[in-house]
Amino acid sequence: MASNESLNTTKSWISMVDNNKTITSPIYTGNETLSERNLLVPMFFLGCLSVIGVPGNALILVVFNLKHKPSVHRTIILTLATYDFLLCGITLPFEIYDMNNQFTFHSVWVCKIFRTINYFFAFNSGYTLVLMTIDRYRRVCKPMNIQMTITVGRICIFGIGFASAIVTSPNLFIRGIHVIHINANLSGYDCTISDEYINSKVPAIYHGIILILCMLGIIVVIFLYVWIGHAILVHLRYQKRFKIDRRPSTYSASFVTSTSFTDITNTNNSTTEDRDTTPPKVNQSKRSTGNERTDIPNTNNSPTKYRATTTSNANHIRRSTRNERKEKIDATSFKITKIAITISIFYIVSYIPTLVESILEGIYGDVVMSAYLSVPVMYLIQKTFAINHVVNPIIYGFIDTKFRNDCKVVFFQCFKKCKY
């Protein structure tokens, strides 16, 4: 087991207090130095996420506001994009600033406010995603039940925001500046748990509750999408089973349609020509029943046949229109479900490393964790949750053709306005 000094691999700029004079000096601790060179990797990682996430989520806000009709899906997506935009534009730059100023963070209220905002945005985004999963579950698995309306969706979003404010508000008291005493003359200031609660069980209990809520959201998302996936598979099997049975009827209906319209045209022409010259001719066909022969008039050209055929054709056209409309709705619903599933997968994958690291650190402590993972790697694991707040524009770009086309239209309109 390595010693505590060898595990403390942090090089930081620490405030040196000497005879009431405060100067800043680089302090190296341990055998390995964690300088700006080592912090560069997690800082660069967060910087890239912020640079991608801010314009990407802004693009979602613009496109969905201008090019999509009001719906529950649109309301949820706009809410997600708003929280993700704020997190990428406010929280991630603060995290970079915090890493760049380790042990020289003196502003108590800046620390409290930004840590609380970080939790608030992350919680709202995560549970808004749970709301989207519930909406997809009801529309796919229970389509005949009463569905969520825009008003109900907005009420749910407001409720999530209110609950998130209550859940994250303890950070205003727990978070603060923790003074790290290196020796008699050296002290560092870190934005973490306040000194008032550093030896208390309150932070551990609070973070345990936060962890349970995060895991609960992930479990709900996984469980509901398992049901959604099962319903989609059943639907696809049903379509595949009856696809072959529908083809002959479609062919015969189209054949009847074409021939019957041809018969109507030919008959109309013949009746117009013969109306004033000759009486209608009745064709005779002979039917034999036993030894008896009966003459039956052939009424293939009777007007009743035309009316029946025309009615059949109209019904077939209406059925075809309804089927096409239903297939279009099914395709749109399937696309939205596919997007929601992909977003949820990235949500789970990006949050699990952060949650696992938090659990292990809570059980074994950061000293034991540092023995197995380098500090830059630990920083990266702690910040992987931010991926969830950046990937949504990329997901839409790959899956949703309409979103790509709408983006092109928006860019073209902006370019046209800037040009003139």
For 141-155, the pLDDT digits (tens) are: 888 888 999 999 999
**Residue 290: pLDDT band with limits 50, 70, 90:** very low
Claim: this prediction has a pTM higher than 0.85: no
- The encoded tokens of residue 259 equal 């021939």
Of 315 and 62, more confident: 62
When the pLDDT of each residue in the chain is averaged and rounded to a whole number, the result is 75
For 7, counting Cβ atoms within 10 Å of its Cβ (0-12 exposed, 13-18 middle, 19+ buried), the class is buried
pLDDT score, position 90: 94
* CA pair distance 260, 103, nearest whole angstrom: 87
Residue 250 has pLDDT above 60, yes or no: no
For 38-97, write each residue's pLDDT tens digit.
Answer: 788 889 999 999 999 999 999 999 999 988 889 999 999 999 999 999 999 999 999 999
For 372-388, write each residue's pLDDT tens digit.
Answer: 777 788 888 888 999 99
Mean pLDDT (whole number) for 213-238: 88
User: Where is average pLDDT lowest: 53-67, 166-180, 354-368?
Assistant: 354-368
DSSP 197: G
* CA pair distance 306, 319, nearest whole angstrom: 20
3-state secondary structure of 180: strand
Domains of the chain: 4-243+321-419 (1.20.1070.10)
pLDDT score, position 310: 60
* CA pair distance 313, 263, nearest whole angstrom: 13
The amino acid that residue 99 corresponds to is M
H or E segment to which residue 356 belongs: helix 303-364
**Residue 366: pLDDT band with limits 50, 70, 90:** low
